[in-house]
Amino acid sequence: MDPLPPEVLAIAAGVAIAAGVIRGITGFGGAMVTTPTLAFLLGPLAAVPVALLLECLAAIPMLLQTRAQVRWRVIGPIVLASLFTLPLGTWVLVSLDPVTMRRVIAASVVFFSLVLLAGWRHRREPRFADSLGVGALCGALLGATGMGGPPAILYLLAGPGRIEVARANLTWFMGAIAAAGLAGLAVAGALSPGPFVLAALLAPGYFAGMAVGTRLFARFDDRGFRRFTLVFLTAVSLAILLA
């Protein structure tokens, strides 16, 4: 990765701060801000490793902060199933058109986000079989498109749990799949020193944004948190759909 012009580095730093704020509020949204913007600035081969490195760095303090609220009987099956189906998604990536798949997924996310915004939620606690199915879908989508989070996000937000628990579950899930994605890039030999250097430069702004986002989260009630998160998810998905 060549040295970046100062103006590009400044834009990337601003994006990292904004992504950190979203990550601090929702527990998951950082990569959905950084990846498309950095891909435009740097290209996807540089953007994806940088976004994953920032996610892994961000996960450390947030995992500690949310460890008491996370529900492993819910999130554990999702994480494990996603790891098993990640190679399937990679096979799909090399077999089908990833742009078309991203748009199909984005359209689905928009539809289900609007359904949840309209007030629909299931009232039962997540079941083991449901979590396995959601995790399997997440892993396949992560390998195929780089967008593994939306099924789990919608699944967890549709449940009856408190927002602190939903945010903790999302935080641990996104940290796990970011680490898995980074490991996959390393195995494929797609990690170079450049993304590590850029991630280190962007990390202070990302952490500062997270601190702001964490403070803002305390101001949300249950309905406000779910609405903010779903509106954000809808906006990102629409941008992907129309790009």
Long-range contacts of 90-99 (CB under 8 A, 24+ apart): 90/143, 90/144, 90/184, 91/143, 92/140, 92/143, 92/144, 93/143, 93/144, 93/145, 96/144, 98/144, 98/145
As for how many domains the chain has, the answer is 1
> What is the share, in percent, of the chain residues with pLDDT greater than 90?
12
In a domain, 227, yes or no: yes
Say yes or no to pLDDT of 185 above 70.
yes
Q: What is the pLDDT of residue 123?
A: 67
In a domain, 168, yes or no: yes
- Residue 59, domain extent: 6-242
In a domain, 188, yes or no: yes
Mean pLDDT for the chain overall: 81
In a domain, 1, yes or no: no
In a domain, 77, yes or no: yes
Q: What is the pTM of this model?
A: 0.76
In a domain, 16, yes or no: yes
Say yes or no to pLDDT of 17 above 90.
yes
In a domain, 208, yes or no: yes
In a domain, 51, yes or no: yes
* pLDDT band of 98, cuts 50, 70, 90: low
